[in-house]
Amino acid sequence: MLIKTLVLITCAVLPIQAMEFGIGAVGNIGIGFSRYETDVRDETANLVTDHLSSRAPVFGLGPMVNFWFNDNFGLNMCLQYSLYNYNYTYDYATSEAAIELRWSIQSLILPADLKIAIPFGKNRAFIGGGVIVSKQLKGKEGGIIWGNDLEAWNMRSEELKTDFLLRALIGVEFCSGNIGYQTSIDYYQGLYPLFVEPWASTHHLSLSFAVLYYPGKGNGSD
């Protein structure tokens, strides 16, 4: 409900204030880095590390709106369906990947970013930052325990979370007529999809591409 309300307010109010208003679609692909610190020790299994780590791909796709209030300041928002994968492995001296835990989580995310731009011709380079509202929709768990492959099962509703995250980005926008092509590198920390303990951390780095239509741009309004 919160995400729907924010989208409606944005679409109704911000286009009136914007010098340029664009609407289109955005997709991204990236990688998530996670590390989970734990003090669990199993002397019989000869545990040699006390953490789990994960490096796995993330994907996102959805509609996007972009506002430029003047040549140097803007805001973009999008609503994305995203897929996050995590693969954690306990490291044992006696066996490789003796315990491997896997999660695949589908989320609805709403990023909103303020941008500071440097124009060059009809194009812009920008840096920015903002917040992400993330609502986990559903997920699956599975893994390998002592060589036995576990059949994946659905996550319980109480395990799914809603998070507010900070995000930073740097990118460029190229324009041809009333079409804008925007690409950026995004970083955000959080989601905490697996563990709520404060020693769990998750970092995401992604590359985004967007195509935007600017009504009136390229028709003498530049």
CATH annotation of 2-213: 2.40.160.20
| Whole-angstrom distance, CA of residue 102 vs CA of residue 92 | 17
Which has the minimum average pLDDT: 38-42, 70-74, 141-145?
Answer: 38-42
Specify the higher pLDDT residue, 220 or 101: 101
**What is the residue extent of each domain of the chain?**
2-213
Mean pLDDT calculated for residue range 59-77: 91
Handedness of CA 90, 95, 99, 101 (dihedral sign): positive
Residue 1, pLDDT score: 55
Mean pLDDT calculated for residue range 105-125: 90
Q: Residue 50: pLDDT band by 50, 70, 90 thresholds?
A: very low
pTM for this predicted structure: 0.71
Residue 40 pLDDT exceeds 90: no
Specify the higher pLDDT residue, 147 or 107: 107
Mean pLDDT calculated for residue range 7-32: 70
